[in-house]
Amino acid sequence: MDRAAVQALRLAVGARIVGQAEVIDLLLLALLSDGHALLEGLPGLAKTRSVKALARALGTELKRVQFTPDLLPSDVTGSVVYHSDEQGGRFRFEQGPIFGNVVLIDEINRAPAKVQSALLEAMEERQVTIGGETHPLPKPFFVLATQNPIEQEGTYPLPEAQLDRFLLHIRVGYPDAAEELAIIRMLRAEEQAEPPLSPVPLSTITEARRAVSTEVKISETIERYIVALVCATRAPAALDATLGKQIEVGASPRASLALDKVSRARAWLEGRDYVTADDVRAVAAPVLRHRLLLAYDAKAKGISADQVVSRLLEVVAVAG
């Protein structure tokens, strides 16, 4: 029942987003794995629309924050405000937009360090601390951030520690010609009438997460494969001389945990109660691409993190 509801969620989002099937699947995997996602792509590729469609299909209000260089931490988390009435005055905490089930952070790399620090606590601890008091965030809590890969002016590169907090780094690419034609026709139809939607209850996500945790098994062979992949990023020269020149800093154990979570979620979504090596390979790029620090030699040659991950998958074998 849970799986059918999640499949219905996938169809509901897919009905409003054309040409981004992989993006939709990865968003669902992040949601089922109780992790956050970073969407990176050029303007106009439906990053924000995808998040809006997901929130609408879940029947929850989307909380959106446009990051800018002059943003303050309180603009995200909220602040303590003084209220006066007939009985006198008192301070009361006013919640910021971070208090939502689905939170969209648009252009995350435009805000300064203090704002990033406040967001980091919310993402990692699922809480915010204001005036010495801690306020828990609602459940489920899902941060989706967008980033433009070619914009440099007025941006602040995200620190590695914050990138590591994103479960998945999702690349959003161009649609093909047929898909772009379908997009034009879909938006023209939406101008005339908004398509009906039966939202999937948020409780379904909680139940689905529980099913992923309790029903999906992972063998020791696959566990060792996951660990071998991540460890290979730390000592790549031992497996491949070329990789040794391309990776400067490898992934932390958080990458192993992410591969375990997301591969189990993928297996469950595919209707299986066990994880295969193909599940791990399918999610390796979005899990690892933002956790690898490439060497100068690789950057100079235009080698991408995805190419490095692809080579890792070639040289690391599944031990029987």
Question: Beta 142-147 vs 102-106: how paired, if at all?
Answer: parallel
9: exposed, middle or buried (C-beta count within 10 Å: 0-12, 13-18, 19+)? buried
Tokens 């007939």, residue? 86
Give kind and range of the element (H or E) at residue 14: helix 2-14
- Global confidence as pTM: 0.89
In this prediction, residues 21-28 reach a mean pLDDT of: 92
Which token pair is 191?
Answer: 């101008």
Q: What is the DSSP string of 146-204?
A: EE-TT--TT--PPPHHHHTTEEEEEE-----HHHHHHHHHHHHHHHH-PPP--PPPHHH
pLDDT in tens, 150-196: 766 667 778 787 888 899 999 998 888 998 999 898 888 888 877 77
Classified as helix, coil or strand, 90 is strand
Closest to 281 measured CA to CA, from 268, 263, 258: 263
What is the spatial distance between Cα 52 and Cα 183, in angstroms, rounded to a whole number?
16
**What does residue 42 show for φ and ψ, rounded to 5 degrees?**
-70, 160
Give kind and range of the element (H or E) at residue 133: strand 133-136
Q: Is 318 a residue whose pLDDT tops 70?
A: yes
What is the spatial distance between Cα 18 and Cα 313, in angstroms, rounded to a whole number?
30
What is the spatial distance between Cα 36 and Cα 170, in angstroms, rounded to a whole number?
11
Q: Does residue 11 contact residue 17 with C-beta atoms inside 8 Å?
A: no
In this prediction, residues 50-63 reach a mean pLDDT of: 90
Question: Which of 149-163, 214-228, 230-244 shows the lowest mean pLDDT across its residues?
Answer: 149-163
What is the spatial distance between Cα 42 and Cα 203, in angstroms, rounded to a whole number?
33
Q: What is the pLDDT of residue 265?
A: 96
Angle between helices 21-32 and 253-269 (to 10 degrees): 110
pLDDT in tens, 250-267: 899 999 999 999 999 999
Looking at residue 176, its amino acid is D
What is the spatial distance between Cα 251 and Cα 230, in angstroms, rounded to a whole number?
6
- Biggest CA–CA distance in the chain, Å, is 75
Q: Is 272 a residue whose pLDDT tops 70?
A: yes
> Within 10 A of 191 (CB to CB), how many other CB atoms are there?
7
Give kind and range of the element (H or E) at residue 293: strand 293-294
What the chain holds in terms of domains, given with CATH numbers, is 2-202 (3.40.50.300), 216-315 (1.10.8.80)
pLDDT, the chain, mean: 88
Residue 288 pLDDT level (bands cut at 50, 70, 90): very high
Closest to 143 measured CA to CA, from 127, 162, 123: 123
Preceding amide of 140 cis, omega within 30: yes
> Within 10 A of 2 (CB to CB), how many other CB atoms are there?
19
